[in-house]
Structure 1
Amino acid sequence: MSLEGIIPWGWAPDWGSGIREWLEWLTDTLPAHGGEEQRRSLRLGPRQQFEFRVLAQGSDRAWLESVLWRHGNGRFAVPLWPDALTLEAALPSGSTVVPVDPQGRQFAAGEPVALLGDSPRQIELAEVASVAGGVVTLAGATAQAWPAGTQVIPAPVARLDVPAALPRFTGQVASVRLRFEMDRPAAWPEEIGAAAYRGYPVLEEAIDWAEDPLVQLDRRSTTIDAGTGPVLVDDPVGAPLPLFRARRTLLSRSEIAAWRSQLFALDGRRGAIWVPSWSEDLLPAATIAAGSTTLDVHWCGVAANLAGDPMRRDLRIELIDGTVLYRRVTAVSELSASVERLTLDSALGVEVAPEGFALVSWLSLTRQESDVAEFAWWSGDVAQTTCSFRGFRHDV
């Protein structure tokens, strides 16, 4: 691509205010009367936005305002600050290979990369030719020498998504919050994860219990009320279409990259994934033999309320040794006032005493509730995100 006319953005963010990133897919969802869905994607890839705050003072503040005044509707090469790498040794002028490992970061062939020094004026843009072999190869040679400690940051072309507001602490200091939208659809390798059940992936990543996870039992019901007689409520699904919401804190680049790969594989609301409740839904009451297909649990009203419900028949069974098994409940009966018996579609294959179970949770087949995924970056290695999934009726 040509870098002509692209304005390099060199003002570093205020990390104390955090950095926000959004990925936005577009899905056409057609719900059936009975709770089934047909879904299709309407974009080649998600739109990507970055928002951060800049604190500028003195001549840097005046220069920043001048650039926004002149180029507020222009095309900027905006560094993706969480993906910054640092040169460990000096880089001579005329270099075409930058010795930084781009693995797990958003460097891409054909897009700009920024080399950034200690001030906004110390910046050079170059085009990425390839990111193979653990280095970033440039399409052309660097124009100047760069010392060790220089930041190397992917800097895709973007435009301001909303007009810049310039609140001032004083006549010399301004705190500016800016949101940029990238010119091109975002791209990332798709990888849904290794866990699978009945042909669909399973969400196995741990949630952050520092914020209470939510299970909301929404129903697709219609209330008919003329105001003069009885109220009629029509519930065509006959069961809730649950909403699951939980926060995740990603504590490493590998976790962040893996979650991004899952998001791209799910393709917004189009893809389906099994989501466990992460709760102690069933408490085993007796030892289960390796070849047994019956699981006795403490009474919790399963037989009276959930027997035959197609959306409450799949289990995630975690043992204390870390083994995770998935099974379908085919029948439920009450053995006594304190014990219920669940019949499973296949044996666990191992003898397990009640104390050998770590967690037995219901599984629900879901899709994402929203086409928008958000990352709240607190550093280059730590980000928070909120997962929201919606159950739907199925015949899997």
Structure 2
Amino acid sequence: MAALAGAVTHETLAGIVNPLLTVAHHAYTATQIPYESDGMRRPGGSVLIAHWPVEANGRPLAGARCSAWLDDYYYRIHLSLEGIDLGNVVSIQTTPVQVWNAWFEPRTLTAIDGLDEGITVSGQPAPPLLFAALQERSYDLSVTPDGTPVLDTYITWVFAHGAAPQVRVTANRIIGWVFVPDWAEGVNERLAWATDILSSESMVEQRRALRSAPRREFEATVYADGRERQYLDMLLFGWSARMWALPIFPDIQQIAIGVPAGALVIPCTTEHLDFRAGGLAMLRSHDAGDVFDAEVVEIDTIGSTSLMLKRATQRAWPAGTRLYPVRSAQLREAPVLSRITDKLSSFEVGFRIVEPSDFPAAAPALLYRGRPVLAARPDESQELTHEFVRLLAELDNGTAAAPLVTDVAGRTMPVLLHRWVASGRADRAAWRSLLYWLRGRQRALWVPTHADDLTLIGIAPETSSTIDVAYLGYTRFGQAHSGRRDIRIELADGTALHRRITGSTEVSGTVERMVLDAAHGVVLSPATVARISFMSLCRLDSDSVEIHHLTDSEGVAQSEILLRGVRDDEF
């Protein structure tokens, strides 16, 4: 039989039933228990007494209040912006700023500090100004081109209870150069790289580029008449040492579709022009003499047929308006004005671009021995020079009949002048891409002389690797030397072969036979060969290259470069 554990319950005198009370508790007297109301008291019970809250065995407790989401957003003053970087300021730039009183009680704005020259804050009544609890007010912060050239300041909203939120404002103030050049003399552009060259006594070089992008300068002749001359006088007097928004004059175009005020898109041509995302552009009156009718806009992105702007245009511009890419520049030196009359002045002005002028670098597609070939013929409307240089050391004690001259390297290097003339934006872009690929004096490419250096006098079968040429003394003077061992064979149909001369012999007093490194692949004859020229592996002889823009980018430009032979292909 199972045993069960249990307890006998008894009702106490107060009528309270509790199974946990022992039998001995039946002798207790009635307990005075308070009730929530008189209606709940049993007859003869205790009187209703309020003892709440009840404290028993009190003791101090150590602790800290934990932060909540409420504390992260309230009990402070909020600004919608922490900083504004306006970049190059060429016109009034306005940015909205929201100020929010995140307190649950009113706060008073006592002042707005940091309003330097050319900075204004508008949109609300002047301080002192009461912000109601949880109230937000909107301000317009404007920066003008007037003031210090470099702006880096804080705008502070000062409140009576000690809060002082700030907005940092940074900008470069620049003024648009609105005077157009005299195209009768064109515009000169100079690109200048920097190359460190270590050269040995054997004319072997190690070359290192010191600039990732070239320095860029523009020079032009300008005429100013009447009010334009007066305005120029004031500009040069007050702003000559500061930053200018310089239009890239050769890249001018006239917009075909008018642009309304408040527009964020300018329909235009962008291919092969010096526009850049984040850069500037200038809209200017089609009247070249109206220097007061111009607007500089900031470019956000560039499309194939339009410019998207960061800020809307301030006025309407009709079809025919001039549009220029713009670069930040400084005057290279103060121009000297020549006063032709009391109203007319002329001067030469030179600008240096102060921002990186990047451009896609591209070498010629034609390769020979792993290096590009400058196959384009130079302009021969003027004489082209061609010389040879040697590494000579001269020792002269002053008493000898002649100084002692030593040919240190025992070899010569050709120096060629290459003149380039191009018409149209595509040709200009290709030439500029080649210059950017060369990086001044750093890189080398194959350069034919484009002269009639060898005269073919016999027929050479397509399987042959030899040619007979009129005697020129090659076997005696030029065999296997850099600059005279590689040739370009131009055919009458426009194709060209590039070969290396591996040997030569004098067949007779009028004929020399040359052995090439590969078969011709075609039949060569005096009738099918237009020209045979020597080729040299060359670099630029100078880090500076000039481009003379005779007209705008749709017209003609000229450039000259000196090319110097190197021994890079021997190692």
Residue 340 of structure 1 corresponds to which residue in structure 2?
A: 512
* Structure with greater Cα Rg: 2
Q: Verify the 8 A CA contact 1:211 1:246 in the aligned structure 2.
A: no
> Structure 1 residue 231: deviation in Å?
3.5
Matched, 1:38 2:206: yes
Q: What is the SS of the residue equivalent to 2:292? A: coil
Aligned pairs for 1:132-151 within 5 A: 132-151=303-322
Q: What is the SS of the residue equivalent to 2:462? A: coil
Residue 386 of structure 1 corresponds to which residue in structure 2?
A: 560
C-alpha distance in structure 1 between counterparts of 2:306 and 2:524, whole Å: 50
> Structure 1 residue 393: deviation in Å?
2.6
C-alpha distance in structure 2 between counterparts of 1:102 and 1:257, whole Å: 12
Matched, 1:315 2:487: yes
Deviates more, 1:59-68 or 1:223-232: 223-232
Please list the CA deviations of residues 67-113 of structure 1 after superposition, one character each: whole Å capped at 9, or x if unmatched: 01100101110111110111112111122221111111111112110
Residue 124 of structure 1 corresponds to which residue in structure 2?
A: 295
| Alignment equivalent of 1:2, drawn from 85, 88, 95 | 88
Residue 51 of structure 1 corresponds to which residue in structure 2?
A: 219
Please list the CA deviations of residues 14-72 of structure 1 after superposition, one character each: whole Å capped at 9, or x if unmatched: 10121110011011111111011110011120011011111111111011111011001
Q: Verify the 8 A CA contact 2:486 2:499 in the aligned structure 1.
A: yes
Aligned pairs for 1:85-234 within 5 A: 85-117=253-285, 118=287, 119-229=290-400, 231-234=403-406
C-alpha distance in structure 1 between counterparts of 2:329 and 2:452, whole Å: 46
C-alpha distance in structure 1 between counterparts of 2:222 and 2:335, whole Å: 11
C-alpha distance in structure 2 between counterparts of 1:209 and 1:268, whole Å: 23
Q: Verify the 8 A CA contact 1:46 1:186 in the aligned structure 2.
A: yes
Deviates more, 1:71-80 or 1:197-206: 197-206
Matched, 1:305 2:474: no
> Structure 1 residue 243: deviation in Å?
1.2
- Relative contact order, CA 8 A, sep 6+: which one is greater? 1
C-alpha distance in structure 2 between counterparts of 1:14 and 1:231, whole Å: 52
> Structure 1 residue 131: deviation in Å?
2.0
Q: What is the SS of the residue equivalent to 1:254? A: helix
Gaps spanning 5+ residues in structure 2: where?
1-86, 90-144, 146-172
C-alpha distance in structure 2 between counterparts of 1:242 and 1:393, whole Å: 11
> Structure 1 residue 162: deviation in Å?
1.0
Residue 103 of structure 2 corresponds to which residue in structure 1?
A: none
Please list the CA deviations of residues 284-340 of structure 1 after superposition, one character each: whole Å capped at 9, or x if unmatched: 111111111001111111111111223310011100100011100000011111111
Matched, 1:63 2:149: no
> Structure 1 residue 132: deviation in Å?
2.8
C-alpha distance in structure 2 between counterparts of 1:134 and 1:369, whole Å: 39
C-alpha distance in structure 2 between counterparts of 1:76 and 1:124, whole Å: 13
C-alpha distance in structure 2 between counterparts of 1:131 and 1:212, whole Å: 42
Counterpart residue identity of residue 335, structure 1: V
Q: Verify the 8 A CA contact 2:271 2:304 in the aligned structure 1.
A: no
Counterpart residue identity of residue 504, structure 2: V
Counterpart residue identity of residue 112, structure 1: L
> Structure 1 residue 355: deviation in Å?
1.5
Please list the CA deviations of residues 346-381 of structure 1 after superposition, one character each: whole Å capped at 9, or x if unmatched: 012111211211110000011001111111111012
Residue 523 of structure 2 corresponds to which residue in structure 1?
A: 351
Instruction: Give TM-score scaled by structure 2 length.
Output: 0.68
> Structure 1 residue 130: deviation in Å?
2.1
Q: What is the SS of the residue equivalent to 1:61? A: helix
Matched, 1:242 2:414: yes
> Structure 1 residue 236: deviation in Å?
1.9
Deviates more, 1:128-137 or 1:101-110: 128-137
Q: What is the SS of the residue equivalent to 2:345? A: strand
Q: Verify the 8 A CA contact 1:220 1:241 in the aligned structure 2.
A: no
| Alignment equivalent of 1:258, drawn from 426, 430, 433 | 430
Residue 97 of structure 2 corresponds to which residue in structure 1?
A: none
C-alpha distance in structure 1 between counterparts of 2:507 and 2:303, whole Å: 62
Gaps spanning 5+ residues in structure 1: where?
none
| Alignment equivalent of 1:366, drawn from 522, 538, 552 | 538
Instruction: Give TM-score scaled by structure 1 length.
Output: 0.97
Deviates more, 1:134-143 or 1:180-189: 134-143
Q: Verify the 8 A CA contact 2:240 2:331 in the aligned structure 1.
A: yes
Counterpart residue identity of residue 392, structure 2: S
| Alignment equivalent of 2:446, drawn from 256, 274, 278 | 274
